[in-house]
Amino acid sequence: MTAPAVAPARGWRVLAERLPPLSIIGPFVALFIACVFFSFESDRFLTGQNFSLIAQQVMVVGVVAIGQTFVILTGGIDLACGMVMALGSIVMAKLAVELGVSPHAAIACGLLVTVFFGWLNGVLVTFVRLPPFIVTLGTLNIAFAITQIYSKAQTISDLPDPLLFFGETFQIGSTAVTYGTVLMLFLYLMFWLVLRETAVGKHIYAVGNNSEAARLMGISTRRVLIGVYTLAGLLYGIASLLAVARTGVGDPQAGQTDNLDSITAVVLGGTSLFGGRGMIMGSLVGALIVGVFRNGLTLMGVASVYQILITGILVILAVATDRITRRGA
């Protein structure tokens, strides 16, 4: 490598290198274009209140998607997230309403349960060495069954106020914003910083990108993986509290599509399903894209089935874009 003849970089090449890659800008651009489109199609779209509404609608899946992003970054996947979340909300609701436990203690118990499931997933993946797909498929069923049995498949209502706190709103100007939305944004910001600015964040990327290399460099892949799955469990617990606050009930049938919805958000956000690449803000954007389309198409009077069609097309575009830009590397 003695004084190699490095070709003088052409102008656009330099610019392309300075700009973040397509997989990072793509989701933001898509979200922006969608918003512009819908604001033309309906004059009720571009209001503060409508955006606050969309944020509320995505906040549960949005928080679940944080956990899912972490898991996917390590090269895994979590199919159990929705069911674990439902279990968490049933535990919180049942303890608080039927067993008269103090609401804050009930919340803590719900979180403990979801954290346990997360930790269980992590242990099964690292020590028993089962593929995450299979492990979480198993815990999905276990969590679902426990939820149904424990709740007798009945919705629990009349929840005490602390459980409903995150559904309450405060005013920013003339717009009502829910505390849950603020919590979601705060969590995204916090974990964005963790992934970007700490060694643990780098280790998570390394484990997903080349776990053997990470291991050889002295990173304990076991600790990273168990940590990630356990953290995901905690996030599902927070999501269950948000779900309870938003709907006002503990619903044992909730969260059934959350696994696919969160994976959709993660993929739309530019994170690679193979692990090691992606950013957490993308998942927020991904969740918002789905919410914006759902809201916008309803305002336009378009039938629900087209929302599903469009989501499918967007997912394929997102994955294809990721692969195409990767091939250039």
Partner 1 sequence: MLQARGLVKRYGQVTALDGSDFDLLRGEILAVIGDNGAGKSTLIKALSGAIMPDEGEILLDGAPVKLRGPIDARRHGIETVYQDLAVAPAMSIAENLFLGRELRRPGILGSVFRVLDKKKMLAQTIAFMADLQIGIRSMKQAVETLSGGQRQGVAVARSAAFARHVVILDEPTAALGVKESNMVLELIRRVRDRGLPVILISHNMPHVFEIADRIHIQRLGKRAAVVNPRDIKMSDAVAIMTGALPSPAAT
Partner 2 sequence: MKEQTIRSGRRLLTILLLACTSTAAYADDVVIGLITKTDTNPFFVKMKEGATQEAKAKGAKLMTAAGKIDGDNASQVTAIENMVTAGAKAILITPSDTKAIVRSIKKARDAGVMVIALDTPTDPQDATDALFATDNLKAGILIGQYAKAAMAGKPAKIATLDLAPGITVGKLRHDGFLQGFGIKEGDASIVCSQDTQGDQAKGQTAMENCLQKAPDINVVYTINEPAAAGAYQALKAAGKQKGVLIVSVDGGCAGVKNVKAGVIAATSQQYPLKMASMGVAAGVEFAKTGKKTSGYTDTGVTLISDKKVTGVDSKDTKFGLDACWGTK
Does the protein bind partner 1 through residue 17 (CB under 8 A)?
yes
Per-residue binding letters, 132-171, with partner 2 (x by CB under 8 A):
---------x--x---xx--xxxx----------------
CA–CA gap between residue 319 and residue 310 (Å, rounded): 14
Q: How far is CA 155 from CA 6, 90, 244, in A?
A: 67, 8, 11
Instruction: Pick between residue 37 and residue 205 the one whose CB is nearest to partner 1.
Output: 205
CB of residue 277 to partner 1, shortest distance in Å: 5
- Output DSSP code: residue 42: -
CB of residue 202 to partner 1, shortest distance in Å: 6
Does the protein bind partner 1 through residue 202 (CB under 8 A)?
yes
CA–CA gap between residue 68 and residue 73 (Å, rounded): 8
Identify any residues that bridge with 172 across adjacent strands, giving them in sequence order: 175
Which entry of partner 1, partner 2, none binds 57, CB below 5 to 8 A by partner kind? partner 2
From 249, 281, 284, 285, residue interacting with partner 2 (rule: CB under 8 A):
249
Does the protein bind partner 1 through residue 227 (CB under 8 A)?
no
CA–CA gap between residue 314 and residue 329 (Å, rounded): 23
Choices 6-14, 203-211, 227-235, 240-248; region in contact with partner 2 by CB under 8 A: 240-248
Q: How far is CA 120 from CA 97, 156, 157, 211, 233, in A?
A: 28, 27, 30, 21, 9
Do 205 and 221 touch, CB atoms closer than 8 A? Answer: no
From 50, 136, 139, 211, residue interacting with partner 2 (rule: CB under 8 A):
50
**212 class by beta-carbon count within 10 Å (0-12 exposed, 13-18 middle, 19+ buried):** exposed
CB of residue 37 to partner 2, shortest distance in Å: 16
Which entry of partner 2, partner 1, none binds 219, CB below 5 to 8 A by partner kind? partner 1
The label of the residue with tokens 């209001």 reads: 47
CB of residue 254 to partner 2, shortest distance in Å: 6
Does the protein bind partner 1 through residue 33 (CB under 8 A)?
no
Spatial CB neighbours of 17, under 8 Å, sequence gap ≥ 6: 9
From 257, 312, 313, 317, residue interacting with partner 2 (rule: CB under 8 A):
257
From 55, 91, 146, 214, residue interacting with partner 1 (rule: CB under 8 A):
214
From 9, 33, 303, 324, residue interacting with partner 1 (rule: CB under 8 A):
9
CB of residue 127 to partner 2, shortest distance in Å: 27
Say which amino acid occupies 310: I
Identify any residues that bridge with 171 across adjacent strands, giving them in sequence order: 176
Does an H or E element contain 172, and which?
strand 169-172
CA–CA gap between residue 225 and residue 248 (Å, rounded): 34
Residue 204 in tokens:
């998570």
Residue 322 in tokens:
């990721």
Which entry of partner 2, partner 1, none binds 99, CB below 5 to 8 A by partner kind? none
CA–CA gap between residue 294 and residue 138 (Å, rounded): 31
From 99, 100, 212, 305, residue interacting with partner 1 (rule: CB under 8 A):
212
For partner 2, the binding residues (CB under 8 A) are 42, 44, 50, 53, 56-57, 60, 141, 144, 148-149, 152-155, 243, 246-249, 251-254, 256-257, 294-295, 298-299, 301, 303-305
For partner 1, the binding residues (CB under 8 A) are 1-4, 6, 9, 17, 197-200, 202-203, 205-206, 209-210, 212-214, 216-219, 276-277, 329
